[in-house]
Structure 1
Amino acid sequence: MAGGRAPAWRGGFGRLWTAAVVSRFGDALRTAALPLIAVRLTDDPLVVASVTACGYLPWLLFGLLGGAIADRVDQRRAMWAVDTVRGALVALFALAVGLGHASIVLLIALAFTLTTLQTLFDNASTALLPSLVDRGSLGSANARLMTGQQLAGGLLAAPLVPLLLTVGAATPFTADAASYLLAAALVASVRVRAPEREPRPAGSTLRTEIAEGLRALWRDRVLRATCTATLLCNIGMGALIATLVLHATRWLHTGNAGYAAAMTAYAAGSLCGGFVAQRVAGRVGRARSLLLAGAVQTASLVLMGIVRHLGALLVGMALLGVMNMVWNVNQVTLMQQRSPESIVGRISSAFRTASTSGAPLGALLGGAVAGAYGLNGPALFAAGLFAFAVISLIPAVKPDVSVVDPHDGATTGHVKT
């Protein structure tokens, strides 16, 4: 059954969930505030997009290294240490903004540094979860984590950004710093069994361990096809998100309120997606649920790109949110279930690095497309890439795909209909 069992809230998972929700609340404040501050500093679409692009670039440079380190170290300790450092950095940035020293260079530096630290944190988090819940509960655990994050980060945080900016430009970043520190304390309090790791062979290096993760990802047809599709989608989403503030405020002329409404619609859709992701997987299988999600997202992007009305933007963003959550829950669960526990971090980093590499490219392409073809161009450009992603998923849903975990729902032969 693709749906799986519900995880127990008591103990480590409950604290990890709370930490993730608190941290996501602060992240959403910062993520929504950065482009609004950027457009105050420049009106060049390519420069605005570069802020988003540099927030993804560290995955290309350090993603594989972060996964290899995550498989070597105490993952819980790595997570709270990283959040402590990130909290201090964002607090310093808030101080700089409050003193009037904000600049495009400083925004880019912050985005780059935080994502560099995130390469270790995210891979450690993905590898830690199977130690807190049994494999049959991974799907439900991922759905609850992602749904809680969207509730806090989208529905609760995003609408507050315009209001907080009227209080002071530094306010969203101050709240983000506090959220990092609280999340660090929660993760530090988690007690978890140490994963069983075989002793590393004599002479083993980070390079050879990274190569092992890459080979494992490449050999699995389901993960390989999913990674390719996610790469194409991330190029499209990078183009859309990097220019969404321009789409809302200048193409639709809705102002900051319209941009905030679009982000809220996306978050609301994501929340709904969290509740249906497991049901979709139980009906059609995890791999086929990605195919469905990609097709609906393609149609949503076309709607946003051709209909010049705030309502079309809100409907499109809501549908994108629903299907993005369906995609993410099932993609992450597939990866965790089909990966040996000792190398989850490395397979996770290989997957994330390969797929996320499209986001900075997409952000820059989005800025270029918006400048050359109009501010609705990035949405249509993204629609084309999502269509190609759907096609690239076909190898993942063929009936002869071998199943590593009998409950992953990758093939129709193991799906409860």
Structure 2
Amino acid sequence: MAAAQPVEGASPAKPAWRGGFGKLWTAAVVSRFGDSLRTAALPLLATTLTTDPFLIALVSACGYLPWLLFGLLGGAIADRVDQRRAMWAVDLVRGALVAAFAVAVGAGHASMGLLMALAFALTTLGTLFDNAATALLPSLVPSGALGSANARVMTGQQIAGGFLAAPLVPVLLAVSVAAPYGMDAASYVLAAALVASLRPSAPQRAARKAGSTLRGEIAEGLRTLRADRALRGLCAATTVCNIGMGALIATLVLHITGWLGAGQSGYAATITAYGAGSVAGGLLAQRLARRLGRMGSVLVAGVVQTGCLAAMGTVRALGVTVAAMALFGVMGMVWNVNLTTLMQERSPEAMLGRVSAAFRTLAVAGTPLGALVGGAAAASWGLNTPALLASGLFMVAVAALIPARAA
């Protein structure tokens, strides 16, 4: 049975910065800052180790595979344990792993195998951390403030990752090839200390049945997701959208530098526009939710994103692509904030980790599939084809959302 719903259109409460939410927000932003340093530096490091595109692609694949293998398990464990302790313990382990990696890089012992192992290990630990974080937030803020809290966390992360970390990477690399990874390790330790100081209210969990197993609890989470019409529709729509996103992201640099002929400066302008749009979307998400409701906001976001992708795939002009990606970023953040909030509002508190895991695992599966399809489409029919393919998939996702809106 879904949790009680706040009234759509009501003026929502805002989370207090003092206390638990402020610490969680700071931990999330600091951690994203460090992660962005690492993810920006890793491709540069990989290109010094190999010129084989397949090996470089394997590093990315190792960052997706754990969700497919362990995502459901991570959600079940998140519902069994103290989420705060799980989060800070995971961050300490991740900090130690990245610190060891920084030492290896600084000593000249980096290898493609080591990069793949790091990506796999960090994402494996992330399956527990991310599900626990989604489940922890409702215990730190009033139910009516969830939307505002999610928007503030996601906006802060976007600013930290897209506008603060990226320009710092060249500066750190000029100091030492290992510097970005050392700072990432430090960010994990600081985030762990902040999370460890939280004092959330304990979730209301019924005693586990005798003989209850992780497999049975995972199945219960899947059944709960399937039984909720709105969440089921959102999950299906997000999975289809992620296939389109995978196709677009994998080929975006070719779309801009090849089809548009805009070069690296054009690619940088497009990525910057998307980041700025995402920040603006974080500020807009709650206003749209008050006017249209959460499901209505997600539906509008999908319609607008469909149009943005269609414009990118048909109009051969950098200005149109930059504007389309900025608006795409706005609506992407509107989608993500309201989706996450709906999941937190509609899931039973004691099962939020499992519902989140089921949702994420199914949705994440679409991205690598889309990357493969997008690459094949670009090679066969032209470099603008992935954007058009993504537009069509987003249209299908919007159609899946229409019946879910009435739930």
- TM-score over 0.5 (shorter chain): yes
The letter for the 2-side match of 1:239 is: A
Q: Secondary structure at the match of 2:203?
A: coil
Q: Are 1:146 and 2:154 counterparts?
A: yes
Query: How much does 1:250 deviate?
Result: 5.4
Q: Secondary structure at the match of 2:208?
A: coil
1:218 aligns with 226
Q: Secondary structure at the match of 1:191?
A: coil
Are the equivalent residues in 2 in contact too, given 1:70–1:124 (CA < 8 A)? yes
Relative to structure 1, the CA distance from residue 363 to residue 382 in structure 2 (aligned partners, 3 Å threshold; closer, same or farther) is same
The letter for the 1-side match of 2:305 is: Q
Which structure 1 segments of 5+ residues have no match?
402-417
Query: How much does 1:25 deviate?
Result: 1.0
| Mean CA deviation greater in 169-178 or 227-236 | 169-178
1:96 aligns with 104
Relative to structure 1, the CA distance from residue 125 to residue 227 in structure 2 (aligned partners, 3 Å threshold; closer, same or farther) is same
Q: Are 1:305 and 2:313 counterparts?
A: yes
Relative to structure 1, the CA distance from residue 92 to residue 252 in structure 2 (aligned partners, 3 Å threshold; closer, same or farther) is farther
Query: How much does 1:298 deviate?
Result: 1.7
Q: Are 1:335 and 2:321 counterparts?
A: no
Q: Secondary structure at the match of 1:201?
A: coil
Q: Distance in 2 between matches of 1:61 and 1:317?
A: 32
Q: Distance in 1 between matches of 2:61 and 2:372?
A: 7
Q: Are 1:381 and 2:393 counterparts?
A: no
Are the equivalent residues in 2 in contact too, given 1:54–1:360 (CA < 8 A)? no
Q: Distance in 2 between matches of 1:359 and 1:391?
A: 20
Q: Are 1:236 and 2:244 counterparts?
A: yes
Relative to structure 1, the CA distance from residue 311 to residue 162 in structure 2 (aligned partners, 3 Å threshold; closer, same or farther) is farther
2:198 aligns with 190
Q: Distance in 2 between matches of 1:303 and 1:90?
A: 41
2:123 aligns with 115
Relative to structure 1, the CA distance from residue 37 to residue 319 in structure 2 (aligned partners, 3 Å threshold; closer, same or farther) is farther
Relative to structure 1, the CA distance from residue 45 to residue 380 in structure 2 (aligned partners, 3 Å threshold; closer, same or farther) is farther
2:277 aligns with 269
| Mean CA deviation greater in 95-104 or 356-365 | 95-104
The letter for the 2-side match of 1:272 is: A
Query: How much does 1:20 deviate?
Result: 0.4
Q: Secondary structure at the match of 1:158?
A: helix
> How is 1:135-174 mapped onto 2 (pairs within 5 angstroms)?
135-174=143-182
Q: Distance in 1 between matches of 2:306 and 2:49?
A: 33
> How is 1:9-20 mapped onto 2 (pairs within 5 angstroms)?
9-20=17-28
Relative to structure 1, the CA distance from residue 366 to residue 49 in structure 2 (aligned partners, 3 Å threshold; closer, same or farther) is farther
2:211 aligns with 203
CA RMSD for the aligned pairs?
2.3
Q: Are 1:33 and 2:41 counterparts?
A: yes
1:348 aligns with 356
The letter for the 2-side match of 1:286 is: R
Query: How much does 1:266 deviate?
Result: 1.8
Q: Are 1:179 and 2:190 counterparts?
A: no
Query: How much does 1:135 deviate?
Result: 1.0
The letter for the 1-side match of 2:65 is: L
Query: How much does 1:18 deviate?
Result: 0.4
Q: Distance in 2 between matches of 1:251 and 1:223?
A: 38
Q: Distance in 2 between matches of 1:351 and 1:100?
A: 40
Q: Distance in 2 between matches of 1:297 and 1:323?
A: 7
Q: Are 1:363 and 2:371 counterparts?
A: yes
Q: Secondary structure at the match of 1:321?
A: helix
Query: How much does 1:64 deviate?
Result: 0.6
Relative to structure 1, the CA distance from residue 241 to residue 43 in structure 2 (aligned partners, 3 Å threshold; closer, same or farther) is farther
Relative to structure 1, the CA distance from residue 260 to residue 230 in structure 2 (aligned partners, 3 Å threshold; closer, same or farther) is same
The letter for the 2-side match of 1:71 is: D
Are the equivalent residues in 2 in contact too, given 1:29–1:158 (CA < 8 A)? yes
Q: Any idea what the Cα deviations from partners look like across 1:202-228, whole Å, max 9, x if unmatched?
A: 000101111111111001100000000
Relative to structure 1, the CA distance from residue 156 to residue 60 in structure 2 (aligned partners, 3 Å threshold; closer, same or farther) is same
The letter for the 2-side match of 1:173 is: Y
The letter for the 1-side match of 2:290 is: G
Q: Distance in 2 between matches of 1:109 and 1:258?
A: 33
The letter for the 1-side match of 2:38 is: R
Are the equivalent residues in 2 in contact too, given 1:144–1:274 (CA < 8 A)? yes
Q: State percent identity of aligned pairs.
A: 70
| Mean CA deviation greater in 294-303 or 66-75 | 294-303
> TM-score normalised to the size of structure 2?
0.90
The letter for the 1-side match of 2:14 is: A
> How is 1:242-261 mapped onto 2 (pairs within 5 angstroms)?
242-248=250-256, 258-261=266-269
2:84 aligns with 76
Q: Distance in 1 between matches of 2:46 and 2:379?
A: 17
Query: How much does 1:334 deviate?
Result: 0.5
The letter for the 2-side match of 1:218 is: R
| Mean CA deviation greater in 312-321 or 137-146 | 312-321
1:124 aligns with 132
Q: Distance in 2 between matches of 1:273 and 1:141?
A: 14
2:70 aligns with 62
Relative to structure 1, the CA distance from residue 386 to residue 54 in structure 2 (aligned partners, 3 Å threshold; closer, same or farther) is farther
Are the equivalent residues in 2 in contact too, given 1:79–1:184 (CA < 8 A)? yes
Q: Distance in 1 between matches of 2:59 and 2:392?
A: 24
| Mean CA deviation greater in 219-228 or 376-385 | 376-385
Q: Distance in 2 between matches of 1:224 and 1:115?
A: 25
Query: How much does 1:340 deviate?
Result: 1.0
Are the equivalent residues in 2 in contact too, given 1:131–1:195 (CA < 8 A)? yes
Q: Distance in 2 between matches of 1:151 and 1:7?
A: 19
Q: Distance in 2 between matches of 1:202 and 1:10?
A: 41
Q: Are 1:133 and 2:149 counterparts?
A: no
| Mean CA deviation greater in 268-277 or 366-375 | 366-375
Query: How much does 1:286 deviate?
Result: 0.7
